[in-house]
Amino acid sequence: MKVSLKYGEKQLQIEVPDHTEILVPRSELPRVEEPFGEIRRALENPIGSPTLSEIVRQVRPKKVAILVSDLTRPSPSYIIVPPILEELKRSGVRSDQIRIVFGLGFHRKMTEDEMRKAVGNEVFEQYECLNHDVNKCSYIGETSRGTPVEVFKPVLESDLIIATGNLELHWFVGYSGGYKALLPGVCSKRTIEKNHSLMLLEDAVAGNVNSPVRLDIEEAGAMTNVKFIVNVVLNSKKEIVKAVAGHPIAAHREGVKYIDQMYKVPIRKKYDVVIASPGGFPKDINLYQAQKGLDNASHAVKENGTIVLIAECREGFGEKTFEEWMRKARTPEEPLQWIKTNFVLGGHKAVGFCKVLKKASIFLCSNMEEDVVKEIFMTPFSDPQRAINAAIERHGRPADVLLMPYANSTLPVIV
């Protein structure tokens, strides 16, 4: 049968065996008819918190920071931010008191055009918009798990911090959203690395709201002036299906219910071949981001099975340390040993890949150079159809085949 897969900003047509099972987000919710209206509804009905207007009256902030996602996230900031600004304006907060801060984590800086596109022309022109800088952070304390909390100074200077973003599954934080806009969003390299080192713990897996990484993030967030969040749940078409606002934990947990409803998908067996597309741009912008889909696919593949990862990776590896670790490793086992004694951000993504490589073969269909793909223990393909055919032939016919067209946001759960 013929199916369509997203690859960058294109649609690919491929053919898979008729017995292929297709795993898509479960019970996808329809898009809301009025996205801006949905954000306003959430603002008017906060969860576990006073309204934003009431908070402004209580705090009387001189400076307000709105944390927004960078281009590696599909968060529709141009929809989320304007209603927040409207409410702040009605509450007496002037535009020159507000900063919009792009939480980069450890990603590259956004260009002016990218920032403009992210929040919209009008917002970009009227409000101060700036990139987070990992080298301009101040220490405010330490979590119970030993994470030194260092936050971008312009954020710390704010009396009121509003965190925005989209909710989705995360391979070791459990879920994105909530306080994650702060950590890793606008923290120092040292803070991010220490927090992310908790990924080695057993419970740091996708779909676990009590992941030690998330609990550490929330402890750090509570040390700051993040008093309110606005998060959206997106369907596979990146359309808003639900918005939640209010207390950074209570509102987050309400949003998680919708993620579980759509994206935790039961399977009854594991498969010889899993074909996985992260879901197109920006989820496959680089190998760093595409790893999330690979991790989800690994939950459905048999031991010694094959994952066909179809990801454009227009920006290659997407992160320098990740590339260095992958390319200097002589075996997939080495990064798993290195991380135990020297946790380095970027290296953790190499660990993610190598954990899967120990379990299954990876056929990578991308724009990356074939020699480079071979160097990092994967089999390169420029044609997705050839990759799929080769994977099926590797296991013989009829191989059990599973297709995950939105792998970054589909978590297979054995029942």
Q: Is the peptide bond before 282 cis (omega within 30 degrees of 0)?
A: yes
Strand ranges in 75-204 using DSSP code E only, listed in sequence order: 98-103, 128-131, 137-142, 148-152, 160-167, 169-170, 174-175
**More confident position, 327 or 106:** 327
Other CB atoms closer than 10 Å to residue 136's CB: what's the count?
Answer: 12
What pLDDT score was predicted for residue 342? 83
CA distance readout (Å), 39 to 46, 117, 290 = 11, 19, 29
What pLDDT score was predicted for residue 26? 80
Picking from 1, 2, 7, the residue whose alpha carbon sits closest to that of residue 407 is: 7
Model pLDDT for residues 28-57, shown as the tens digit of each residue: 899 999 999 999 999 999 999 999 999 999
Whether 106 has a pLDDT exceeding 80, the answer reads no
What pLDDT score was predicted for residue 202? 82
What pLDDT score was predicted for residue 35? 98
Model pLDDT for residues 363-408, shown as the tens digit of each residue: 999 999 999 999 999 999 999 999 999 999 999 878 999 999 999 8
Radius of gyration of the chain, Cα coordinates, nearest whole angstrom: 21
- What DSSP letter does each residue of 52-100 carry, written as one string? HHHHHHHH--S-EEEEEE-TTS---HHHHHHHHHHHHHHTT--GGGEEE
Other CB atoms closer than 10 Å to residue 145's CB: what's the count?
Answer: 16
Spatial separation of the C-alpha atoms in residues 314 and 384, rounded to whole Å: 16
Look up residue 207 and give its DSSP letter.
Answer: T
What is the separation, in whole angstroms, between the first and last Cα of the chain?
27
What pLDDT score was predicted for residue 72? 80
Whether 409 has a pLDDT exceeding 80, the answer reads yes
The helix/strand/coil state of 369 is: coil
**pTM of the full structure:** 0.82
CB 168 within 8 A of CB 69: no
What pLDDT score was predicted for residue 23? 95
Bridge-based pairing state of the strands 379-381 and 401-404: unpaired
60: left (phi over 0), alpha (psi -120 to 50) or beta: left
On the CB side of 5, CA atoms within 13 Å amount to: 29
Model pLDDT for residues 265-321, shown as the tens digit of each residue: 999 999 999 999 999 999 999 999 999 999 999 999 999 999 999 999 999 999 999
What pLDDT score was predicted for residue 74? 86
Picking from 224, 78, 58, the residue whose alpha carbon sits closest to that of residue 141 is: 224
Picking from 91, 218, 228, the residue whose alpha carbon sits closest to that of residue 161 is: 228
**Residue 32: both structure tokens together:** 């809301």
Burial class (CB in 10 A: 0-12, 13-18, 19+), 41: middle
Q: Is the peptide bond before 184 cis (omega within 30 degrees of 0)?
A: yes
**Mean pLDDT confidence for 160-175:** 94
Whether 27 has a pLDDT exceeding 80, the answer reads no
Picking from 274, 289, 297, the residue whose alpha carbon sits closest to that of residue 322 is: 289
Residue 189: which H helix or E strand, with range? helix 189-196
Look up residue 184 and give its DSSP letter.
Answer: T
Whether 133 has a pLDDT exceeding 90, the answer reads yes
Structural domains in the chain plus CATH codes: 2-26+268-414 (3.90.226.30), 35-263 (3.40.50.11440)
What pLDDT score was predicted for residue 85? 98
CB 385 within 8 A of CB 15: yes
Place of tokens 């480079």: 372
What single-letter amino acid sits at 332?
P
**Residue 82: both structure tokens together:** 């304007």
- 3-class DSSP string for 114-137: HHHHHHCHHHHHHCEEEECCCCCE
CB 251 within 8 A of CB 177: no
What percent of the chain has pLDDT above 90?
87
What pLDDT score was predicted for residue 122? 96
